[in-house]
Amino acid sequence: MLSVSTRMVCIGECMVELSERADGTIGRAFGGDTLNTALYLARLGVPVDYATVLGDDPFSDEMVAAWRKEGIGTDLVLRLRGRLPGLYLIRTDAAGERTFFHWRDSAPVRDLFAAPGLATVTDTMMQAGLIYLSGITLSLFGGAAREALFALLRQARGAGAQIAFDTNYRARGWPDPVAAREAYERAFGLSDIVLAGVEDLAPVFGSADAHDAMARLRAAGVAEALIKLADPACHVMSADSDDLVIADPVATVVDTTAAGDSFAAGYLAARAAGRQPIDAARAGHRLAGVVIGHRGAIIPLASMPSPSLEASP
């Protein structure tokens, strides 16, 4: 069981984010799935570090400064001379659905397991209460680097950390679905908590059925899982139960960017506060419902709900 003092580590990539406005102009920010989760965890009062690699450029400097201001630990942010972070552009349609365009093939995070300072990351992982990563995190690494990641997770789990894996899937990050399936299956086998979306699982495993997903996760030994449906609802799975948790209606959907990332933060923060999985799923839905009512991945601090994420009276 997590506790309110549990220090979490999120692993992944943050990129320069460009958002296309309705008038064709571009706004600049920063974003990445596990970074978004780390930021919302910090806003909810959870001690959290972000593990990644950036360059020595002004954009990387701005990222680190912004994360520190949000309360994210940055001791695990390694820097490589002469490198630049990845870049992506978001185009959002009238219904709030987004399309991503990426420029990230040479992003420095891909060299995490060869970067100077890796020993600091490894040592901190051994002391973490929970390590969070995503399918996108897995897609950043190939061959020996992914093997090193799995070995690190296995070692940290042996030292007492829990592993939480979000199935967030982007086809462009993988050579084919078979490679993704193999990596996901290994991640399931190392995970204590899985946050899975049927829309992620369908192209990887060939099924969008939530019960198929639960059977697969149980067979892998996963103790706790959230199966997010296409509708705003999720199945909460434990060893011997399956409960459907439906999200409260959202009046206006502006932008679905970071819906899943914020859901993960709300869920994990609630679990760290000692709440049971069903109530934690409700907390995740509530935070995601606020986030999709705003444009961009990160909502204004003033728009954040209370850290308890309790239902409105």
175-197 pLDDT, tens digit each? 999 999 999 999 999 999 999 99
Cα 141 vs. chain centroid, distance in angstroms? Answer: 16
- Supply the pTM of this predicted model: 0.94
**Token couple for 121:** 């990351």
- C-alpha 247/C-alpha 169 separation (Å) is 22
Where residue 85 sits, what CATH number does that domain have? 3.40.1190.20
State yes or no: is 261 an active-site residue: yes
Residues 6+ apart with CB under 8 A from 48: 7, 8, 9, 10, 38, 41, 42, 71, 72, 73
Residue 310 lies in a domain: no
φ and ψ of 51, to 5 deg: -105, 120
What pLDDT score does 256 carry?
84
Task: Say which range, 86-95, 166-175, 203-212, 275-284, has the weakest mean pLDDT.
Answer: 86-95
Predicted confidence (pLDDT) per residue in 281-301, tens digit: 999 999 999 999 998 789 999
Task: Say which range, 69-73, 177-181, 186-190, 228-232, has the weakest mean pLDDT.
Answer: 228-232
Residue 6 lies in a domain: no
Residue 275 lies in a domain: yes
In the chain, % of residues over pLDDT 90 = 79
Residue with tokens 């901190």, as numbered in its chain? 124
What pLDDT score does 201 carry?
96
For residue 44, is pLDDT > 90? yes
Query: Which residue is catalytic, options 33, 200, 261, 279?
Result: 261
Task: Say which range, 94-98, 251-255, 260-264, has the weakest mean pLDDT.
Answer: 94-98
Predicted confidence (pLDDT) per residue in 123-169, tens digit: 999 999 999 999 999 999 989 999 999 999 999 999 999 999 999 99
Residue 313 lies in a domain: no
What pLDDT score does 105 carry?
84
Residue 7 lies in a domain: no
Domain count for the chain: 1
For residue 50, is pLDDT > 70? yes
**Average pLDDT of the residues in 229-253:** 90
pLDDT averaged over every residue in the chain: 93
**Domain extent at residue 110:** 15-303
Nearest to 85 by CA among 128, 55, 123: 55
- C-alpha 8/C-alpha 64 separation (Å) is 18
Q: How confident is the model at residue 313 (pLDDT cuts 50, 70, 90)?
A: very low
- C-alpha 78/C-alpha 111 separation (Å) is 10
For residue 12, is pLDDT > 80? yes
φ and ψ of 200, to 5 deg: -80, -40
Residue 10 lies in a domain: no
What pLDDT score does 90 carry?
82
Residues 6+ apart with CB under 8 A from 231: none
Residues 6+ apart with CB under 8 A from 273: 4, 308
Residue 8 lies in a domain: no
What pLDDT score does 57 carry?
96
Is residue 231 a contact partner of residue 272, using CB atoms and an 8 Å limit? no
Predicted confidence (pLDDT) per residue in 82-126, tens digit: 999 999 888 878 776 778 888 888 899 999 999 999 999 999 999
Residue 221 lies in a domain: yes
